[in-house]
Amino acid sequence: MSSDATRSPEGDSSLGSAFDIPTDAAGIEGLASAGVAPAGESPPVSTTTSTARPPLGTGRLEAADLGVINIENGAALNVTLAYRHDGPGPDAPQILVIHALTGSADAAGDWWEPVIGPGLALDTNLVGILCANLLGGRYGSTGPTSVDPVTGAAFGAAFPQPTARDEAAALWALADRLGIERFALVAGGSLGGMVAQEVALARPLAVGHLAVLGAPAATGAMALAWNHIQLELLDAMGERGLALARQLAMTTYRSEADFDGRFGRQVEPDGRFSVASYLDYQGGKILGRFDPDTYRTLVRVMDGHDVGRGRGGLHAAFRVLESTGTAVTGIGIEGDILFGPDQVRALVDAAAGAGVDAVYREIASSKGHDAFLIEWDQLTRFLAEALADGLARSGY
């Protein structure tokens, strides 16, 4: 299955990461310029500009030009988002799914493939599924690798810094462009769960159910600390820093039990501990598909996440959802050290305290944070439950 299966140089078959979305080394931009997709990869993104409504239901990666979006830092960005839409169009119920840190728009063909499709939890015979590469992303959306029209060169580190609210604004602009007025369900994990909250809060009347997987209502101090170290590595060492940042991040995506079970104190033929070999491999792999400026941009989106900012705190923010009847499911993950179950419970408690119909669910797993890309049976159950509620609330 393409979303998670990777193999280390030592031949150890190992599951991938919530932040590890396989894509051609050139990125979606490279695939588009080549005109064809290599075997096993996603089709190219359309790069044509048109005033017509982009297509729906193709199950392929497309691109939509959204015009100028004014982001919170005062910049005006001419935004294109890469996206994929599967299933029926706007006359049917719609779902928005949102990727994690280094993700792509290809949820249905890659990182959530086991839960999206005919007869699956998010059944494309019945509902349309939209996923977009986030603003500032690496795979076809406007970001640091895009050309700055002022300089004629890539934005790089000068790319204007978006927030999770800017991400939500861009996603709603895409929905408008596609003729989607309402989502029965908005769901995302990790960074995607942060943006999902802002999507619901931006237009609560247009969201039936919000499902947040492995994400808090505001990024906590420990995650900020880990991100700080990663950003310092990027700033000091460039691509080598990106590889090291990725290695550090990988230790937060899995659990102690998972690492002990997979690696223990095993030693490779070259004398390295197996866990060190694995981390070196992951650090090298990120360099083939990502870049320091994009990584920095999206980590800072995560750092700035706080749904209570400027809204009078969490309860006041979630009270908006209570007034519109939007329900919330918070899905924590056993053994998650990045955004642990207590942080997701706190989100649910804040929403419930504001009068929202909010429930907590927990994925039982030894895999840690990445379980929302691994534990398919449990994900199927929780997502189907949230979708059924969202459909009812949306009048379907």
**Is 210 domain-assigned?**
yes
Residues 148 and 206 placed together within one structural domain of the fold: yes
The total of other beta-carbon atoms located within 10 Å of residue 310's CB is 11
Alpha helices, H only, 254-375: 256-262, 274-287, 292-303, 314-324, 341-353
**Four-CA torsion 190, 120, 130, 344, nearest 10 degrees:** -20
- In a domain? residue 208: yes
Instruction: Quote the pLDDT of residue 4.
Output: 32
For residues 127 and 64, membership in a common domain is answered with yes
Does residue 26 belong to any structural domain of this protein? no
Residues 177 and 320 in one domain: yes
DSSP-derived 3-state class of residue 237: helix
Q: How far apart are CA 271 and CA 288, in angstroms?
A: 26
| Whether 164 and 235 share a structural domain | no
Of 42, 190, 365, 394, catalytic: 190
Cβ atoms < 10 Å from Cβ of 396: 13
Task: Note whether 243 and 168 are same-domain residues.
Answer: no
Does residue 79 share a domain with residue 98? yes
How many domains is the chain partitioned into structurally?
2
Q: Would you call 369 a catalytic residue per the annotation?
A: yes
315 given a catalytic annotation: no
Low-confidence ranges of the chain (pLDDT < 50): 1-50
Asked whether residue 3 is domain-assigned, the answer is no
Main-chain phi, psi angles of 353, to 5 degrees: -65, -25
pTM for the whole structure = 0.89
279 and 326 co-located in one domain: no
Whether 219 and 226 have beta carbons less than 8 Å apart is answered as no
Instruction: Give me the CATH number covering residue 78.
Output: 3.40.50.1820
Nearest alpha carbon to residue 22 among 112, 111, 153: 111
The pLDDT score that the predictor gives to residue 250 is 96
HSE-CB of 186 using CA atoms within 13 angstroms: 30
User: 251 and 152: one domain?
Assistant: no
Domain around 259: 224-298
Here the tokens at position 336 are 């998650």
Asked if the structure places residue 176 within a domain, the reply is yes
Catalytic residue among 4, 24, 293, 336: 336
- Residues 238 and 201 placed together within one structural domain of the fold: no
Task: State how far the Cα of 92 lies from the Cα of 80, in Å rounded to an integer.
Answer: 25
* 234 and 270 assigned to the same domain: yes
Domain boundary among 298, 321, 341: 298
Residue 67 placed within a domain: yes
Residue 4: inside a domain, yes or no? no
Q: Of 110, 255, 369, 389, which is the active-site residue?
A: 369
Q: Tell me the C-alpha distance between 19 and 50, whole Å.
A: 32
**What is the percentage of the chain residues whose pLDDT exceeds 70?**
87
Identify whether residues 199 and 324 lie together within a single domain: yes
- End-of-domain residue from the set 252, 272, 298: 298
At 278, which CATH number? Answer: 1.10.1740.110
Domain boundary among 266, 298, 330: 298
Structural domain includes residue 117: yes
The answer on 214 and 142 residing in a single domain is yes
| Residue 8 annotated to the active site | no
pLDDT of residue 51: 58
